[in-house]
Chain A
Amino acid sequence: MAQLEEVTVDQIKHLVSERAIQGETMLLNMGPQHPSTHGVLRLLLELDGETVVNCIPVIGYLHTGIEKNMEAKNYTKAEVMTDRLDYLNTVGNNLAYSMAVEKLVGLDVPYRAQSIRVILAELQRISSHLIWLGTTGLDVAAMSTFLYCFRERESIMDILEMCSGQRMMTTYIRPGGVWRDVPVEFEAAVRKFIKMFPRRVDEYEALLTRNPLFLDRTYGIGVIPADVAINYGMTGPSLRATGVNWDLRKSRPYSGYEQYDFEVPTATEGDVYARFLVRVKEMRQSLRIVEQALDKMPMGPVRSSNHKFVPPPRSEIGVSMEALIHHFKLWTEGYSTPKGSIYNAVESPRGELGVYIVSDGGPKPYRIHWRTPSFDNLQALPYMAKGLLVADLVAIIGSVDIVLGDVDR
């Protein structure tokens, strides 16, 4: 045991200051089991009293080898794994994966399916931001927001369950469209949510935005300038809070985002409070997109009719020989994709969610890499936390909005 400790100190020698080796500052583990690290994140802190001298994130506690696992499964089966990456943004992960596969094989998506995708992805963005808002409030001792946020999230979960049969691991968006059409009660449920939600956001803002205690804990804390943030690979709301107007939905519209009228909220301070403001404004914008998409949603098919990649409907299998063959081929060996490699990115609630697929022409991805936004956003944490108090560090972790399933893959 003594030997093991020696090795560990040796390995981190270059990361901590000279004072830590001499015992002047304290080395302390925060996590991996700690309520405010939002999962199994371990931070090795070098503390001078209560001031953070160095902060070294140690990740990998939730590493599940999803990339390796997906290489061993065909494209249909591999999709189930995508939900497990960023478990607060399952629909967004399905969307990123489906769009990457569609780009690889050159598949068109019907307009109705595109609208459904946008509605669900935006609802999921709201639900992810609600979790973030609730837990961040909890971190800075604003308990009540947490309960309100989870109440509203529940109605989004109900909508997802209505469509896919699952609350979280939906696998609803599939390459070539969506699994099935939305049920008849879908529109009413979403309309009810659209009507109810703006008032609820006002309530959260009443609790936090001008709350002096909340301002004390967040304003001017964890500042990161725009150029440093980009250099750290930060994307999403955390980057927009530094004043960079970069949103893939706006700059590279996909899935019909160009038809909808919405703004990209930005702030310039780059601190915890700016990140809070940007995300709260984003929830309102997402709601605008949902409303427009619902109004404009066309009728029609929800799955591509190219049955080389998309299974034919059950009703056809009984009467059409070709449909039966397609069905058999798809469920036994899957579909083959052309040889080549593509990268495709979408805007997840946390930033740029990219999928890189290398295909060797077979039915399984030869290599699939996930560019997960949390992984890069978390890297900037030591920069932001240096010289602040441990209590501020807790607020910063919350504000960056990491999901450990997204970091560790």
Chain B
Amino acid sequence: MKPELESVVNALNKAFKVESSEFRGDVTLHFTADKIVDACKMMRDELEFTLLSTMTAVDLGADKEPRFNVLYYFTSVARNLSIGFLVPVSGENPSLPTVSEVFRNANWRERELWDMFGIKFEGHPDLRRIFMPDEWEGHPLRKDYPLGYEEPQFTFNYDEIDVSKPYAKE
């Protein structure tokens, strides 16, 4: 770990008591949901991590608890450093406080996570689906959402497959 990054980790550890892990040079801090907004504010205002590079989630499986891991990835343009925050989120009524007040691009990123994983962001100004149509059911990037495909119809089995095709029939 770079010494500058270590000082960042120490500062965050002092304020929030977090565990850190490292894999292939990527440093990740493990946060809990209640601290994330304060941590984001501290990153932006005190530690010069002004760029929220990305925000994404991982579904660990419907039977796991906590089911989701949400990643916040910060970049410091001034100090040329990067660090990730990982927040576990429960599978039942998954929700997190919004950070769109702190980082404006979190607005769409959180909408994406709501659309794709069904994670609600409390206090979000505009939590609508972003990629899928508004009336869509389900959250596609969850592991229990099937990838799905269309069964090809050939002349010999056209009618047989047509029965199960999901479109309005006469």
Contact = CB atoms under 8 A, between A and B. Distances in A.
Tell me whether A and B are bound partners.
Answer: yes
Interface of A: 11, 14-15, 59-60, 63, 65, 67-69, 71-72, 103-104, 106, 227-228, 230-233, 235, 244, 246, 251-252, 340-343, 345, 352, 354, 356, 358, 366-367, 369, 371, 375-376, 379, 408-409
A63 B141 CA distance: 13
Given A72-B147, A367-B59, A340 B24 contact: yes
B24 A379 contact: no
Contacts of B134: 11
Given A106-B24, A342-B23, A345-B53, A231 B104 contact: yes
Contact of B52 (A11, A227, A233, A246): A233
Contacts of B3: none
B23 A340 contact: yes
A248 to B, nearest CB: 10
B147 A68 contact: yes
Interface string B1-39: 000000000000000000000011010100000000000
Nearest to B134: A11
A345 B162 CA distance: 45
A77 to B, nearest CB: 14
Contacts of A67: 141
Nearest to A378: B108
Number of chain B interface residues as a range:
35 or more
Contact of B105 (A59, A231, A356, A367): A231
Given A60-B131, A106-B24, A379-B105, A343 B84 contact: yes
Contacts of A15: 126
B50 A369 contact: no
Interface in B90-111: 103-105, 107-108
Interface in B119-136: 125-126, 128-134
- Interface SS of A by simple majority: mixed
A68 B107 CA distance: 22
B157 interface: no
Interface in B30-79: 50-54, 56, 58-59, 71, 73, 75, 77
Nearest to A252: B80
- Of B24, B129, B132, the most chain A CB neighbours within 10 A belong to B24
B42 to A, nearest CB: 16
B105 A11 contact: no
B103 A233 contact: yes
8 contacts: A228-B104, A342-B24, A343-B73, A345-B53, A354-B53, A354-B54, A354-B73, A379-B105
A251 B24 contact: no
B150 to A, nearest CB: 14
Q: Which 4 A-B pairs have the closest CB atoms?
A: A233-B105, A371-B54, A60-B131, A63-B131
Given A230-B50, A343-B84, A14 B126 contact: yes
A244 B23 CA distance: 30
Given A244-B77, A341-B26, A342-B24, A371 B50 contact: no
A369 B54 contact: yes
Contact of B108 (A11, A345, A366, A375): A375
Contacts of A409: 131
Contacts of B103: 231, 233
A328 B107 CA distance: 46
Given A69-B147, A343-B73, A232 B56 contact: no
Given A11-B134, A104-B24, A356 B141 contact: no
Contacts of A367: 58-59, 141
B140 A68 contact: yes
A228 B105 CA distance: 10
Contacts of A230: 50-51, 77
B58 A60 contact: no
A369 B126 CA distance: 23
B26 A343 contact: yes
Contacts of B54: 343, 354, 356, 369, 371
Given A232-B104, A235-B51, A356-B73, A103 B24 contact: yes
